[in-house]
């Protein structure tokens, strides 16, 4: 009996899962590899970091998501190399996984634009570990402020700086200011949490630069109404233990958050192919890698000649397309199948009652936009249980301002005392970009 074609998918994010779904009935043996055992709904990751949601509400075990697919096996492992000639994927533990077709959806990590030494002082938000560490850092700052007797030192503890005015930065700024001024306002006795200061730094002339100018203007006004200190046209020149230095002065802060850019995984280096400045593989119009027609790169791993936003739906469309091409080839159809991306729109939220929706044909802001944003995200969640729980949780926060996931965990050093990771883009991680919001690609 002839062996079944071996199809390997690296990355259990939006793109990887969409590819596996498209490969159903292809007749191939599919292996899904991810560094973690869960699929993460990254668009809501900032809500874990700011205590609105618990980690288990936005992540699901990958094995459970594919348990009905007898043609799929799942491996938890860190990819360290791909041999395009031997057609093997190498894992950190020495395991070699052979393939006939390979889909790389290895995602991205934070990009510090040549300043990797900033990372310990300004961690980003890409994984559940990042979110729980950030949650700990935010809550510990308030706990330390309760013990602090020096007013100047207390103000440093209560100053939160967010670098990057894209969707992640804007959403984090709104959530952090509401955490301080609404959720925690009655929890402390030696200071007023309402005195906390949130500073959003953007190097460009406006926040949400990929939205229409009028939508960006609305976002800036909404942030200022919440009490966020928005600083535009302010490049960051240094990040250190005492805070941030900018072209227009320094800001003292114990808590700095990075939301300014991404760096692709080392997939291009593995294959020895051309990449752009962010490390993304320059793929052909069908998403295949030049010189390797059996290898496809999707999501944040790839860049096409025409611009495609780094959002969740783009990754899903690319993963589905790569799976459809492989499916067609296994059926004997080797015809050209160029990828055509269909942009559904951009969405972002600012706090618990403001959002921006731009579907092109429809634009919404304010509380109507916020409810639309909520329904859109609930629709894309996995499982009815999660949809119901998160909908009820959001309704409760909307009515009461109370956030229940305020647990300080991960006892140990905060990110500010950790050393930088050698590899800012760990391989084999889920490709989980923002849903409906273009990521900021801003230089500090």
* Distance from C-alpha of 172 to C-alpha of 399, rounded to nearest angstrom: 20
202-225 in b/e form (b: 16+ CB < 10 A) is bbbebbbbbbeeebbebbbebbee
* Distance from C-alpha of 21 to C-alpha of 23, rounded to nearest angstrom: 5
Catalytic residue status for 202: no
C-alpha separations of 44 from 52, 169, 197 in Å: 9, 13, 23
* Distance from C-alpha of 179 to C-alpha of 191, rounded to nearest angstrom: 15
Total residues belonging to the chain: 444
Residue 85, classified by CB atoms within 10 Å of its CB into exposed (0-12), middle (13-18) or buried (19+), is exposed
Cβ contacts of residue 123 below 8 Å, gap of 6+? 110, 130, 133, 134, 137, 257, 258, 415
Task: Give the CA angle between residues 87, 89, 330 to the nearest 5°.
Answer: 50
Q: Which of 57, 171, 178, 202 is catalytic?
A: 171
**145: which 2 tokens?**
């402020």
How many CB atoms are located within 10 Å of the residue 75 CB?
A: 17
- Strand pairing category for 108-110 and 29-34: unpaired
How many CB atoms are located within 10 Å of the residue 436 CB?
A: 24
Query: Largest Cα–Cα distance in the chain?
Result: 77
* Short-list 53, 84, 29, CA closest to 296: 84
* Distance from C-alpha of 13 to C-alpha of 49, rounded to nearest angstrom: 20
Task: Give the CA angle between residues 141, 143, 144 to the nearest 5°.
Answer: 65
Catalogue the active-site residues.
171
């Amino acid at each position: 009996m002839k062996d079944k074609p071996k199809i390997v998918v690296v990355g259990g994010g939006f793109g990887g899962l969409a590819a596996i779904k498209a490969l159903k009935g292809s007749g191939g043996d599919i292996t899904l590899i991810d560094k973690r055992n869960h699929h993460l709904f990254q668009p809501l990751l900032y809500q874990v970091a700011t205590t609105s949601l618990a980690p288990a509400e936005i992540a699901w075990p990958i094995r459970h998501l594919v348990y009905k697919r007898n043609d799929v096996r799942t491996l938890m492992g860190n990819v360290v190399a791909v041999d395009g000639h031997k057609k093997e994927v190498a894992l950190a533990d020495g395991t070699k996984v052979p393939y006939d077709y390979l889909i790389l959806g290895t995602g991205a990590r934070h990009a510090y634009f040549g300043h990797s030494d900033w990372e310990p002082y300004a961690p980003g938000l890409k994984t559940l570990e990042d979110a729980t560490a950030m949650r700990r850092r935010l809550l510990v700052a308030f706990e330390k402020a309760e013990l602090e007797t020096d007013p100047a030192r207390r103000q440093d503890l209560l100053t939160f700086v967010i670098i990057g005015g894209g969707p992640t930065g804007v959403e984090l700024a709104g959530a952090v200011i509401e955490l301080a001024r609404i959720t925690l306002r009655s929890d402390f006795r030696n200071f007023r949490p309402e005195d906390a200061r949130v500073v959003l730094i953007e190097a460009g002339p406006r926040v949400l630069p990929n939205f229409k100018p009028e939508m960006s203007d609305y976002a800036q006004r909404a942030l200022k109404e919440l009490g966020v200190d928005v600083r535009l046209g302010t490049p960051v020149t240094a990040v250190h233990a005492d805070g941030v230095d900018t072209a227009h002065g320094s800001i003292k802060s114990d808590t700095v958050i990075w939301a300014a850019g991404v760096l692709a995984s080392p997939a291009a280096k593995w294959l020895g192919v051309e990449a752009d400045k962010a490390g993304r593989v320059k793929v052909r119009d069908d998403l295949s890698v030049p010189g390797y027609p059996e290898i496809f790169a999707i999501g944040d791993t790839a860049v096409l000649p025409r611009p495609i936003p780094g959002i969740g739906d783009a990754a899903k469309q690319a993963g589905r397309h790569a799976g459809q091409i492989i499916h067609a080839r296994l059926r004997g159809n080797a015809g050209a199948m160029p990828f055509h991306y269909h942009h559904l729109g951009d969405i972002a939220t600012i706090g618990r009652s403001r959002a921006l929706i731009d579907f092109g044909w429809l634009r919404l802001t304010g509380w109507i936009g916020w409810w639309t944003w909520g329904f859109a995200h609930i629709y894309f969640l996995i499982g009815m249980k999660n949809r119901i729980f998160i909908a009820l949780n959001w309704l409760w926060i909307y009515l009461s301002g109370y956030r229940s996931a305020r647990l300080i965990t991960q006892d140990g050093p905060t990110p500010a005392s950790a050393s930088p990771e050698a590899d800012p883009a760990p391989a084999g991680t889920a490709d989980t970009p923002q849903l409906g919001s273009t990521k900021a690609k801003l230089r500090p």
